[in-house]
Amino acid sequence: MLDRRFVADNVDLVAANCRARGSAADVAKFAALEIVAESDAILRAIPNLTHPAAPVGGEDAAVEIRRGATPVPSFPFKARDHVDLGAALDLFDFEAGATVAGHGFYFLKNDAVLLELALQRYAVDLLQREGFTVMTTPDLARDTILEGTGFMPRGPETQIYSITGSDLSLVATAEITLGGAFHERIFEAEELPLKLCGISHCFRTEAGAHGRATRGLYRVHQFTKVEMFAFTAPEQSAAMHDLLLDLECRLFDGLGIPYRVIDTASGDLGGPAYRKFDLEAWMPGRGPAGEWGEVTSTSNCTDYQSRRLGLRYRKPGEKGTQFVHTLNGTAVAISRALIAILENHQQADGTVTVPEPLVAWMGKRTIAPPRR
């Protein structure tokens, strides 16, 4: 008996085989298999349900639910954006990035490299103390894994870079690889919740992104990210979602970055998310008076991904299995964290103060122009 997923992914091969055999029974079987493949394609396109407390509407209907501990700064001088600061401090090379790979790619230089490494250690150290298992993940995943986590690897609206002539794509987030690592796994109840921390490069086409708000590092094609991912029993997922959000807030409070937390509206949720919270940092260099810009988010995907990836758990004394819930949250997306640090900690003399938790790894308290 043919597997439904195999048929969905190989319908042309199955069709040719059935037609070659030629019997009425085989033709009827193929017709049934075509319907199965069609129904699977439709089912994969249906998004998750939405939490009843989520705001209803589009992006403008989002509701602010929390502010960070650090107030929005008031500079006694004209604040510069991270692109201008980076040029003065010799931190980025956007021109070389465009020469090598095209617009939206970049080189980090000098203290920006140290900041990236320090931010990774800062996030990883906190998550290890909270019981997360730290992993580095592949930069590539099979298209079936992308689909299983709710990402669209091919098609006109995809934001994914696909590898021609293969079933592989570059990952947009370690959420894909961390979820896919346990494909078709059956957990024992005592293994849950399982908390993972993944460090990966992230690749996104960011088609159609233009304008001052996307200048510099804000919307790029490649960046490094420390990602949180959790597998839970259904009754544990709401509390886990709160924990992931609290950890994001702790990380940015520690960096002295002003932020607000947004409860994302129903019309702005991605397909897998049942509920999603965005953490938006204050970016003084965005626009004439500064603006909020998303730096992290955390989503409860309930059993949406686990149904597609075959992720289940077994309760002691009960027959059968149940689907786990999956959750994800950005600990630190390096490129956007760099923007928030540089713009909020800039000084009148053009230097930038290093946030206290990063000083030990940076080996300095101030970022100044390098000596020639």
Catalytically active residues are 204, 219, 294, 297, 336
Q: How far is CA 44 from CA 39, 138, 145, 152, in A?
A: 9, 24, 13, 10
Instruction: Spell out where 73-129 has E strands.
Output: 92-93, 107-108
> Hey, what's the torsion of the CAs at 246, 250, 251, 257, to 10 degrees?
110
Dist. CA 169–CA 167, nearest whole Å: 7
Tally the C-alpha atoms within 13 A of residue 235's C-alpha that lie toward its C-beta: 2
Residue 97 forms beta bridges with which residues?
Answer: none
| Token couple for 177 | 């690889």
Q: Phi first, then psi: what are they for 369, rounded to 5°?
A: -55, 135
3 state SS of 367: strand
Cβ atoms 261, 294 nearer than 8 A: no
Other Cβ atoms closer than 10 A to 110:
15
Cβ atoms 191, 197 nearer than 8 A: no
Task: Indicate the residue type of 323.
Answer: F
> Which class for 86: exposed (0-12), middle (13-18), buried (19 or more C-beta within 10 A)?
buried
Task: Indicate the residue type of 350.
Answer: G
Q: Which residue has the tokens 């077994």?
A: 314
